[in-house]
Structure 1
C-alpha cells in the first residue's frame, strides 16, 4: 500500500526507478529541516501523542523497548496496530510521505527463542545460526518490526562483562563467520523480502575491552590491536551485506566512539566502503557531554555528525541543533546529506516506501512444530559436556541395566533427582535480551524429564537445601541445575566474581559428599569459575541459556538420545583473578615454562593455564587425532596448501567432532597470538570410523596488520595446528615464499 497521492505527485514512490534515483528526487524535495528529521530516532512512538510530529515529518525512526537496558526488563510487546497507525500519520498525513523505520531488539529469537548468542556460538555451526535468525526475522516482521539490533560481534576475554552473553565468542574467525550467517538469516538475499528485516552489527568498536568488565567504561587499545582482532568480525558482517552498524558507548584511547571520525568515517565508511546506516546507541550522542568531550548537546551533535553517526538514537541532539549548526557554517551540509541518503537508502532497500504497513495483518507468530524443531537443534548444539566420569548418559529406562557411557563405562541407572531453581522456570531459561518470548511457551527441564522418565524422576525446585539432601539420599543419581538467572547477564549486569551465585556450591558439596552419581548442569550467560564444580561432580554440562526448547534439549543429551557436541566459544579461566585468559594471549619477552610458570612475572599463588580451554568439549565417546600433514612444505603468497588430519572415533557411540585448525606466526612485525583459530570442520563419526579431514589454507589467512596498520603477509615459517581445542594441538610447519 502506497500513499494515496501516488507516485505521480511523489515520484520517489515510483518503484520502477532505481533506488539512487528515487533518493536524488526526494532529496531535491526536502528542506534542511526535513533532512535533519530523517536523522532523528525516538523510542516507543505513541500514534496519538506523536501524531503531530509524525504528520510534520519530524520522526524518522522509532525503536520499541522498555528502556535503555531493555534486555533486563519486559515491556508490553510490539503492538502492530500502533505501528500501522503511526505509519499512516507519516505516510498519508505528511507532505513527503516518508515511512517510519521501526526497530526492536530481536537478538536470538522473537517468539521462538534459541540459545543466547554465546550458546549459539558453542555450536560452531553457521548454517544453524542462519536458520535461527531467519525464524526470528519471519516472526518479528509479523509484529511490524523492520530492523533488529543484532548481531553483537564484540570480542571479549572478560567474562565479568555481562554482555558476553550476547557475543559470538572470543575469536575473530568464529565471531565473524557466525555474524555473517546471522546477517544472512536476518536479511536474506534481498532485505526487501517481506520475511526479512535489517540487521545491525554492534558495537563499533572495542566495547568488549571495557575496563574491568564494567559496562560503558573506557577502553585503552591501539588501532593495531583493533585491526588484528576487534575490527575483523565487523568487516565480516559488512562483507556479508549488513545494512546498519551501531556505534559503541565506550571511548577508544580517549575518543568516544560516537565522536570517533577516524574509525567510523575513515575506516568503516571510507576504507571498507560501507554504504549503510551508522546508528547511535541509546543516547550515545548525548553521552558525549557526560564523557567530557562536548560542553552541551549542540556540541555533541556536531561531533557525532562529523564522526559519521547517521541516526541519533533518543538524545534529540540532531533534531534540536543540526539545522542551526549547518546554517552557522559549523557543520557542512554535505555531512547531513550523506547521513540522510543512507537513512533513505535503508528505508528503500527494506521496501518501506512500497510496503509501509504490516505485511500479514492478524497472522500468528507463535512457535510452531517447525520453529521448535530448529530451536531444539540449536539448544542441543549449545550443550557442552566438559566432564564425564561415566555418569552420562543416563539410562532412559531408569531401572533397567545401564547404558554404555563415556569410553565404554556404564551409565547411571535407577531413580533420578532433578533439582534446582531452573527445573520449571521458563523465564529464566530464555536468557538475556528476550523481549517477546513467552515463559509459558518454554519446555522446562522438569516437564521434559517427567515426560521421559515418569515415576523414576523426582523433580524439585531446590528451595530448601535440607530437603534436596534428603531427596538425593534416596535417588540413585542426582542432576543439579546450577548457574545464573538470565538477569545476571546482559547489559549493565557485570559482576566482580565469576563464581556461582551464593549458596549453590554449598548444596553441591553436600550432595557430592553422599558419594552417589552426580551431574551438574550449568545455565550461564558467561564463562564461570567451575573449578570446584568440576572437582565434585561426576559429569558437568555447560548449557548456557537454551531458549524455548531448553528442557527437551537437556533431556535428549542427558539420556543419550543426542550426542553432546557443543564446544566452548570462550576460555574458562581458573578463577576471577586470572582474567583475562583467552586465545588472544601473545608472546612476551619471557618464555613460559611449565616448571617455572609461577616465576618471571607470573603468579606466585597459582598457575596461569585456563581451566577449560577455548574450543573444548567432550562427547560420549573418545576421538583420537593423528599428527597433521601438509601437502607442500612451501606456501606461495598467492597460493594455498592442504592440511590433513585423521580423526578416529575409538568408542562405541557416534559423535560429531569439531575439528579445529589454528595458526601461529613465530616471527612477525608485531606480536601475534600464540594460537589463533583459523578454521574448523564439523565431522560426524560412527563408532570405530576414521575420517581424513582436510583444510585448504591460503597465505592470506596468515595476514595481519603491521606497524603501519596495512595488511601484510610475511615470508617465513608459519605453524599450522590441528586438534580438538586450543590446548591440545598437533603442529606442522610451512614456509611462506613470495610468488615468482
Structure 2
C-alpha cells in the first residue's frame, strides 16, 4: 500500500485517544535514561510506560538507548497495541554518540561543511546501532551574544556559515536513504531566534524586527528543510512577545504556508507547559489549545496534550481536522523512515555489540578535532614545538583532566576512550619524561601550593603550555555568563607563569568566544581548542608539534571586553562610524575601546604565510539576471604546505534599510605547497545580494557594492561593482 494511503487508512481507524497518543513524546523509562541533561519532570515508571504503549497513548520515546530494551518497547507497540503503530525513538545526540566529535561551534571553525557531514554520518551509524531513529540536532540558531551558554551548540554568529553547516549535518545524519538502518532522522532546532535571547540569558525573550528574523535567524532552518529535514523543534523563547511553541505565524504561516514544510514540529522539553509560566496561557488546557492550534504537533514530556486534547476536541475548541493534520504529519514521517514496513529497524543487538567501527571513527574524531583548532597568535614562530630536545611544562587544570573533554550535551560518549592533553603529548614526544605536568589551580579556585609548583615547573622548562579556560559546565543550556573571561583562579595562574619569562603557549578550552586579558591575551601563542571530544589529546599534540598545520578560523568574534556583547562582525554601519583616519571623539565606539574585536570573525593563522592578490571581477557591473565572477590569487609565501580559508564578503553601500558593514557570501579552503599559487573563484548573482525590505519582501536593490576576498572579516582590499536594475 502507498505510504500516504496507509496513513489515511490508519487515521480513519484511530480513536480520539489513539490520535492524541501519536502527539505525545515521553521519557524512555524502559531503557537507561539521561535525566542528568533534563529535569526529571512529569516522570513515569517503566510499567506505566508499557501500559501507555499498549493503549496507543504514546507515539515517541526519547533519551533512552539500547537495542534490546528498544526491541521490547517496539514489540509492545507493534504487537500488543490495537493498531500496531510503531514508536519513534529519539535522543539528544548532538556531536557524537559513543565517539565524541568537537562541539558544533568548534567544528564550524573548520570552515569545512563536508567534515561536519562526515562526523554526522559517523554519529548516525553509532546512534542507530544503539536503538535510535531520531536525533534532536542539528542546532542551527545564529548566536551573536557570547554570554549565551548555547553558543557552543551553534555554528557561530554568521547566517551564511550556519546555513552551510545546517545542510551538511542534515545530510550526514540522514544519509541518502531515510529508510536505511543507519539513517538518523534530523531535527532542526530551535525554531526560532533562540540565539537572539535578550542579554544572552537563556529562555529569555527575543525582540526584533520581522526583517531581522527573516534575514538572520530563519535562513538556516530553510536551508536544513531544503536539505531534507523532516522535523523541527520549537524554541523556549518568545519572539516579540509570542512564545515560539504557540506562534501560529511562525509554525503555520511561515513554516507550512510559505515554505510548504510537510514534516512535524515537536516542542522543546515541556515548552508547551511553560506557556503558563510565560503568562501566555492560563492553564494546561489553554496551553494545549494554543500550541496545537498554532501548529505544534508533538508535546515533549509535559503531557498537556495527553491530559487535555480530548476535552478540547469534544468541546470544539480544537477542530478534529486540526488534530488529524498533526497526526497525519507525524505518521507520514514515520512512514518516510520506513517504520511501518520495518518497525524493528535500528534495533539490532548484534549490530549494537559490533565495535569494528572504532578505529575509523577514532581517526575521524582526531581529524575533526585538529581541523577545529584555531591558532590565534604565534609570535616569533614559537610553534610548532620540537618533539625532542625541549623541556615542556604542561600547566593548568585541563592538563590531565578527562571530565571536561567532550563539552556540553555529551551524554552517551564512551569516556573510557577519551584522550587527555598529557596523554596525547606524551604519546607524541620522543622522550615522554621531557613533559612535566602541574595542575597549578582548580577550575574556579586556587590550590594550596599550586602556583608555586607551576612557577617552578615553568622556570625549569623551555616552554610552558597553559591548559586553561572554561570547564564543561560553563557552556550549554542554562549556562549563560555575565563575564566571558578565564576564571580568576586560572587567570592568576597565568599571570604567575608568564612572570617567569618562559615562553607561554595558551591552550584555551572554551565553548564560546572569550574576552582575553593580561597574561593570557599577551601570551606568545594562543590556540583555541574548544571542547574537541574523544581524541582531544592527540589532536592538540598534532598541532603543537606540527604534524598538522592549523587551518581553522573563528566562527565567532573574540571581543576585547565582555561589555561589548552582543558583538558580531556584520553589524550595521552607523552615521558616525569610527574610521582609522578620524578622531575618535563623537564616534561609534566605547569610551574605553574601539568598536572592534580582539580577534575578528574568520581570523586564524597557520604555520604558513599566504598572500592575496586584489580581487579581479569579470565585469564592473552585475546584470539583474546575470552572474558576476570574482577571482583572487592566493600564494604560498613562507613555511610548510598549508591550507588557507579565502572568504568572500560584500557590502551594500546604499539601500532602503541600513546594511551590514560586511556580509559573508562564500568561502573556499585551499591547500598550497611551498612556492605554489592558486586561483579561487566565486560567483555572485542578485539573489546573493537580496535582503528583506521595509515591506518584508525579499529582493535585491540596484546600486553600488564593495567586495573583499580576504582571510578575515577585517582584512582585505575592497573592489567595487554595480548591480544593474531589471
TM-score range, shorter chain: over 0.9
Normalised to the residue count of structure 2, the TM-score between the two structures is: 0.94
Give the C-alpha shift of residue 142 in structure 1.
1.1
1:458 corresponds to 2:442: no
Shift in alpha-carbon separation, 1:227–1:350, aligned structure 2, 3 A: same
Equivalent residues, number: 697
* 1:51 alignment partner in structure 2: 50
Task: Output one character per residue of 1:58-116: Cα deviation in whole Å (capped at 9) or x when no partner.
Answer: 0011111xxxxxxxxxxxx6233222211111110010001111111110000111100
Q: Secondary structure at the match of 2:593?
A: coil
- Rounded to whole Å, the distance in 1 between the matches of 2:599 and 2:668 is 21
How far apart are the structure 2 equivalents of 1:365 and 1:660?
Answer: 42
Q: State the match for 1:407 in structure 2.
A: none
Query: Does 2:371 align with 1:384?
Result: no
**Contact 2:406-2:533 within 8 A present in 1 as well:** yes
Q: Is residue 2:446 matched to residue 1:468?
A: no
Unpaired segments ≥5 residues, structure 1:
1-16, 65-76, 400-413
Q: Are 2:77 and 2:87, in contact at CA under 8 Å, matched by a contact in 1?
A: yes
Counterpart of 1:495 (choices 481, 485, 504) is: 481
Q: What is the CA distance between 1:592 and its match in structure 2? A: 2.6
**Counterpart mapping for 1:51-450 below 5 A:** 51-64=50-63, 78-357=65-344, 358-362=346-350, 363-364=352-353, 366=355, 368-399=358-389, 414-450=390-426
| Structure 1 position 277, deviation (Å) | 1.0
Shift of 1:591: 3.0
**Secondary structure at 1:390 match in 2:** helix
Q: Is the 8 A contact 1:652 1:688 kept in 2?
A: no
Worse overlay, 598-607 or 180-189: 598-607
Measure, in 2, the Cα distance between the counterparts of 1:175 and 1:147. 21
Alpha-carbon spacing, 1:581–1:533, altered in 2? closer, same or farther (3 Å): farther
Distance 1:430 1:467, change over 3 A: same
Instruction: Work out the CA distance in 2 between the residues paired with 1:604 and 1:552.
Output: 44
RMSD across aligned C-alpha pairs, in angstroms?
Answer: 1.4
Quick check: 1:505 aligned with 2:510?
no
Distance 1:607 1:336, change over 3 A: same
How far 1:124 sits from its partner (Å)? Answer: 0.5
Cα distance between partner residues in 2 of 1:572 and 1:666 = 26
Distance 2:55 2:403 in 1: 41
The residue that corresponds to 1:530 in the other structure is 516
Whether the 8 Å contact between 1:426 and 1:440 is mirrored in structure 2 is no
- The DSSP-based 3-state class of the residue aligned with 1:49 is helix
3-state DSSP of counterpart to 1:735: strand
- Once the two structures are overlaid, the 10-residue window that deviates more, 620-629 or 517-526, is 620-629
- Deviations along 1:629-682, one digit per CA (max 9) or x if unpaired, are 100111122221111111111103111000000111111121221101110000
The alpha-carbon distance between structure 1 residues 724 and 323, as it changes in their structure 2 partners (threshold 3 A), is: same
Cα distance between partner residues in 2 of 1:445 and 1:394: 16
In the alignment, structure 1 residue 40 sits paired with structure 2 residue 27: no
Aligned residue among 689, 693, 697 for 1:706:
693
Structure 1 window deviating more from structure 2 (301-310 vs 461-470): it is 461-470
3-state secondary structure, aligned to 1:503: helix
Residue by residue over 1:382-417, the C-alpha shift from the partner in whole angstroms, topping out at 9 and shown as x without a partner, is 110000013543443321xxxxxxxxxxxxxx1111
Residue 582 of structure 1 and its aligned partner are, at CA, apart by 0.6
How far does residue 534 in structure 1 lie from its aligned partner after superposition?
5.1
Displacement after TM superposition at 1:605 (Å): 2.3
CA distance, structure 2, for counterparts of residue 426 and residue 133 of structure 1:
23
Output the TM-score relative to the length of structure 1. Answer: 0.92
In structure 1, the residue matched to 2:41 is none
Q: Which runs of 5+ in 2 are unaligned?
A: 31-45, 442-449
Deviation at 1:555, TM superposition (A): 0.4
Question: How far is 1:601 from its partner?
Answer: 5.5
How far apart, CA to CA, are the structure 2 residues paired with 1:654 and 1:599? 46
Counterparts of 1:329 and 1:713, CA distance in 2 = 46
Contact 2:574 2:588 in 1 (8 A): no
Counterpart of 2:569 in 1: which secondary structure?
coil
- Encode CA deviations 1:671-723: one digit per residue, 9 max, x unaligned: 22110111000010112211111111122100111111111111111222110
Question: Which SS does the other structure have where 2:282 is aligned?
Answer: coil
Shift of 1:361: 1.3
Corresponding residue for residue 71 of structure 1: none
* Alpha-carbon spacing, 1:590–1:724, altered in 2? closer, same or farther (3 Å): same
